[in-house]
Amino acid sequence: MGRMARHSVIVGAVVLATVALVAGPAGANHSWNGYHWARTANPFTVQLGDNVTSTWDASLSGASTDWSKSTVLDTVVVPGGAKPRSCRPTSGRDEICNSTYGNTGWLGIAQIWITGGVHITQGTVKLNDTYFNSSPYNTSAWRNLVTCQEIGHTFGLAHQDENFNNPNLGTCMDYTNDPSTNQHPNQHDYDELVTIYSHLDSFSTVGSPSAATTSRGSSGRAQAWGRAVARSSDGRSSTYVRDLGSGLKVVTFVIWA
C-alpha cells in the first residue's frame, strides 16, 4: 500500500521463491512483476478470510463486491482462519486482518507468497488500527481505499500512479492524500486483471494447500525487512529483501512520508 498522507507509510510485501524483485511500475501497465494465482480456468474465486472487527466489515464486503466485478476472478468473504494480531497466512487464499499493530508508520500491509517465480500461493492483508482509530484516518473513505488497495495487491496489481500531487484517477490503486474519489477499482484495474490472467496454468494454487507455502516473512517490523535494494523518488529506501532460506525470499516495498 502506498503512502496515504504526510505522516504515514504503507507497506506492501511479497514473499517469493526466486530472486529478489522490486514492485511493479506505475502507469499504463500496473501488473506487480507478473505475480498471479495459478489456475486452470477463468473466472476463479479467491476466498477472503474475515478476521476483521465490525468497524471494517463494510470495507471488506465492499472490496469483495468491487473486485468480483472482474471478468476473470471472483472473491467471497469466508470465516477467518487467522488470529488478527499475527494474521498468519492460509494456503490457497487471503486472510484479511485488523488490529492495533502499533506506531509502525504504516497504515496497511499486503503480503503474497510466491512459488515458481510468479505464482501466488497465499496472501495476507493487515490494517493498522493504531492509525485508523483516530483522525484523519478514522473515516469510511480511508478504510475503503486501504482495504481495496491491499486486496488488489494480493491479486498481482501494483499502483496506477505513485505521485501524490497528481489528480485522483478514481481508483483505489492510486496514491492520494484525498481518498474521497479513490475508494474502488476503475476500468483500467479490471482491464489489467484480464491481461495478468490471460493465460491458464496446468495446476492451481487457489484454495489448495501447497508444500511451498510458509508463514515466515510475515512480520510488519522494519528490522525484519532485510537489506534495502531500491529507493523511492524522494531518495528513501523503498524496497527491502530478506532471504528466508530454502530458496525463499521476502521482498518488502515501502513508501515513506
Work out how many domains the chain is built from and give that number.
1
- The C-alpha cell of 5 is what? 498522507
> By mean pLDDT, which of 85-89, 106-110, 251-255 is the weakest?
251-255
> Is residue 61 included in any domain, yes or no?
yes
**Considering just the CA atoms, what is the radius of gyration of the chain in Å?**
16
> Is residue 3 included in any domain, yes or no?
no
> Is residue 2 included in any domain, yes or no?
no
Q: pLDDT (tens digit, 9 = 90+) per residue, 166-199?
A: 899 999 988 888 999 999 999 999 999 999 999 9
Supply the angle between the helices 140-153 and 54-67 in degrees, to the nearest 10. Answer: 50
Domain region containing 141? 9-255
pTM: 0.85
> Is residue 1 included in any domain, yes or no?
no
DSSP secondary structure letter of residue 157: B
Q: What was the pLDDT predicted at 95? A: 95
Length of the chain: 257
Q: What CATH number does residue 31 fall under?
A: 3.40.390.10
Cα(170)–Cα(78) distance, integer angstroms: 28
- Across 9-18, 50-59, 147-156, 219-228, which has the greatest mean pLDDT? 50-59
Q: Output the CA–CA distances (angstroms, integers) from residue 214 to 15, 35, 111, 177, 256, in the order listed.
A: 9, 17, 12, 35, 28
Q: What was the pLDDT predicted at 56? A: 98
Q: Output the CA–CA distances (angstroms, integers) from residue 207 to 55, 191, 194, in the order listed.
A: 27, 24, 20
86: pLDDT strictly greater than 50: yes
> Considering only CA atoms, which of 110, 98, 178, 96 is closest in space to residue 145?
178
Q: Which residues pair with 253 in a beta bridge?
A: 12, 239
Q: Report, as an integer, the average pLDDT of 102-124.
A: 84
> Is residue 4 included in any domain, yes or no?
no
Contact 66, 184 (CB under 8 A): yes
> Is residue 13 included in any domain, yes or no?
yes
Contact 243, 125 (CB under 8 A): no
Cα(221)–Cα(250) distance, integer angstroms: 13
> Is residue 149 included in any domain, yes or no?
yes
> Considering only CA atoms, which of 170, 212, 195 is closest in space to residue 24?
195
Q: pLDDT (tens digit, 9 = 90+) per residue, 195-222?
A: 999 999 999 999 977 655 666 656 666 6
Question: Between residues 225 and 56, which one has the greater pLDDT?
Answer: 56
> Is residue 18 included in any domain, yes or no?
yes
